[in-house]
Amino acid sequence: MRLERDIELALIELVRAAARAEIMPRFRNLGAGAIKAKSSAIDLVTDADVAAEAHMSRAVSQILPQAVVIGEEAVSEDPGLLDQLPGADVAVILDPIDGTWNYANGLATFGVILAVTVRGQTVFGLLYDPVMDDWVEASLGGGAWFAAPNRSPQRLQVAAERPFEEATGFLPHYLFPKAEQPRLTQGMVAARRVNALCCSCHEYRMMAQGHADFVQTEGLNAWDHAAGVLAATEAGGFAQLADGRAYAPTLSQGRLTVATSASMRDEVIAAFGLGT
């Protein structure tokens, strides 16, 4: 199932509106007490995250009144909300500011992520950049596209396959257990360039646009990955968990590799020792 195009456009516009109203006015302008830590000192939430999620949740209820809304900040307050995702006929998954650490520290590498699932399958994904007001969108079976106001959408294709030693990719080593990090560094130096943007939104945009060869994750938060996996695979990429399972937004545990091909995925798993 795909969404009607007018629904997709309405979802894009609600994200743009929330960014204009709640995110950009607060960027590099957060007051005292506007930044708080959640699970750790690098897992942050700001007043902008909360306000943007509330704005978008209200708008979603008008566009898709039957949908279950799963927002990152709402789940942080009530983890039981995630239990609704697998059984929902329609769900809208929101990350109001992906890359909050960057946002809170004045770095412009952050985004808004929205995904729509139908009975557990992602059918629409949006990776939006509030700073530049452009986005990558993908619909199931409809390809992945780069779009911006007043320009024609550009269909996206992942990079051509290349050897791992020539690959560029993203891996958040700091999210892995300390005991595993020395092994990860061996894989990082074996490739051409491996780093982390601390922002899944932009990492997946880079992947779908052909500027990166893989994204390796440590966790499976649906708000971080559902839209990006759809964009990457609709652009010709491949996604699979380290244990061989297919990715689904209803999964909550596992390590996900998204790559330009199945063979690149296998090289990533081998280089970082993730199959053991």
The answer on pLDDT for 43 being more than 90 is no
Q: What is the pLDDT of residues 195-208, one digit of tens each?
A: 999 999 999 999 99
Output the pLDDT for position 184.
94
The answer on pLDDT for 8 being more than 90 is yes
**Rounded CA gap, 250 and 222, in Å?**
7
Output the pLDDT for position 35.
87
Query: pTM to 2 decimals?
Result: 0.96
Q: Which CATH architecture has domain 164-272?
A: 3-Layer(aba) Sandwich (3.40)
83 a known binding residue? no
Q: How large is the average pLDDT for residues 56-71? A: 98
Higher pLDDT pick, 88 / 39: 88
22 a known binding residue? no
What residue ranges do the domains of the chain occupy?
5-155, 164-272
Check if CATH label 3.40.50.1000 holds for domain 5-155: no
8 a known binding residue? no
98 a known binding residue? yes
Mean pLDDT of the chain: 96
CB atoms within 10 A of CB 266: 16
The three-state secondary structure class of 19 is helix
The answer on pLDDT for 276 being more than 80 is no
Q: How large is the average pLDDT for residues 90-110? A: 97
49 a known binding residue? no
What does the radius of gyration of the chain's CA atoms come to, in whole angstroms? Answer: 18
Please name the residues in contact with 52: beta carbons below 8 A apart, sequence gap of 6 or more.
18, 19, 22, 23, 96, 97, 112
Q: How large is the average pLDDT for residues 114-128? A: 98
